[in-house]
Structure formats: C-alpha cells, structure tokens
Amino acid sequence: MKKVLGKGIHALIPGSVDEGGNFFFIGIEKLHPNKTQPRKTINQAKLEDLSASIKEKGILQPLLVRPIEDGYEIVAGERRWRAAQRAGMREVPVVVQDLGERESLEAALVENLQREDLNPIEEALAYVELMKQWGLTQEALSVRLGRKRSTIANIVRLLQLSPKVQQLVSKSEISAGHARALLVLEDFQSQEALAEEIVKKGLSVREVEHQVKLVQSRLYKKRKPDPDPYVIDIQNKLERSLGAKVKVSLKGKRGSIRISFFDLNELDGLIKRICS
C-alpha cells in the first residue's frame, strides 16, 4: 500500500480533491460537522485569522463532504466552514464523495495531521480509533498513513498518562516531550505532582527527566523490603545447582522462581540439568 500522508487526501481517496473544477457551491446550513472529527478543540485566534482571509479572498480549496440523511457531513474542511460562517458567507464550494464512517475518519485524520491541527492526545485517540475501526496493528496503520511506526507508538503511549496530565497536554500547558518523560512514572499521583511542577516552574524536558529519576529512587527505597534470609538461602542453593541466576519471589504461601539465561546454549544446559 502506498504512503499517503505527504500526498494528502487525494492519494488517500482518489478523486476527492478537485483537479478540474469538478465542484459546486452549497448552502452553509446544509453542512454538518463530522461526528468522528479527530480534532476536539479549535484555536479561536487562528479561526478569526482564517475568517478574515476568507472574507478577503474567498475559499481557495473546496471542502470534502459526504452525503447523509439531512444534508452533507464535512469530511475535511470544518475550520473553513466555521470561518466562512463568521465571514458571513452563505455558500461554500464542496466536492462530494460517498464515503463510509471509517474512510471519513481516516481522511479527517490525514488532513489534520498535514495541517498540524491536532494536539498529541487528539492524535493518539484518532490512531486508536482507526486501529479499532479497521482492525489494524500499529505497523499496518503506519503503512496506511505514511507515518513511522515508532511515531505512532510514542503518541499512543501518551494515553497511559493520568486523565489530568492528558488534559494538560491537550491544553499545551506541557509538551509531548514532557509527557513522554512522565510516562516512566507508573502511578498517576506521581505523574500529576511532577506535571504541576512543570507548569509552575517551566521545567525543561531534561529537568523533568532528572526529577523523574529522583522520584523513582525515592519510591524504590520506600517499597524495597528487607531481604528474607530464607529466600536468599533458597536462591543461593538453586544458583549453585543450576549454574544460573535465580530470582525467588515469595508472598505468603505462594511464589515464583525465575531463572535467567543469556543464550540458547545455556537454556539447553538448564533444561538438561532440571529434567535429569
């Protein structure tokens, strides 16, 4: 499958972008916003600027829409539609495509990514929704959108942050770089406490990474129990017998034994010693 992100919606949905004046004007009241629109917030200052530009020069690129029961749903161009309303326009140019829900979501996501209209959390939610809708892996989605798999993975991981921290990212109060540094902290309370410090003190990403290490160190010392002499004795006996690193975990009457090996030859030797 071809990479499409750098080529726009035209590459994603052939015929969706006007190439020969194949569009018509339609009344603004017949258009409806896309209910699967990845972008949840709109920068009002930028919308005002776009409205002023439209009032002076008109809409230079038609909106991509799809037919629905009570008119047309906007697939790409919602900001142009809203700005046109502010500019007092009664009609806008559109190109109509008969798209399904999933194609509509994908096209809206591609346009927003190209225009950098999404905050990191909106982008992450859109990726997850697309993978769910299409039944795709991150690798398959990366091919479909023309984005690196690692980029998609790093963005999606932001959804592991606490809801409060995600909101700060959405509002651009902390950056995606700050957010990725906070992901190392597993508990929400620690994430939120450090996120508040970022906002108050304007910490850099490097400073946050340093703070995260300090928090981890404190949490480790707090959680680390005194070694059980009985467990240590069992580990030592098993290590001497097996010739490998052994970790014994005991909780009440239950527990587990973890045996480490460095290569397949060592694994074969361990199997032989255990089975004999």
Q: List phi, psi (to 5°) of 87.
A: -80, -5
- Note whether 138 and 152 are within 8 A (CB): yes
- Note whether 43 and 115 are within 8 A (CB): no
Q: Position 163: which residue type?
A: P
HEC profile of 57-72: HCCCCCEEEEEECCEE
Of the candidates 179, 154, 156, the residue with the CA atom closest to the CA atom of residue 166: 179
- Note whether 72 and 32 are within 8 A (CB): yes
Determine which one of 29, 73, 78, 123 is catalytic. Answer: 78
Catalytic-residue membership of 78: yes
Q: Which residues contact 105 (CB under 8 A, 6 or more apart)?
A: 36, 38, 126, 129, 130, 133
Sheet holding 91-96, edge to edge: 24-27, 91-96, 63-68, 71-76, 31-32
- Note whether 181 and 151 are within 8 A (CB): no
Tokens 């290590």 locate to: 239
- Note whether 65 and 75 are within 8 A (CB): yes
Strands 254-260 and 31-32: unpaired
What's the angle, vertex CA 141, arms to CA 173 and CA 2, rounded to 5?
Answer: 120
Residues annotated as part of the active site? 78
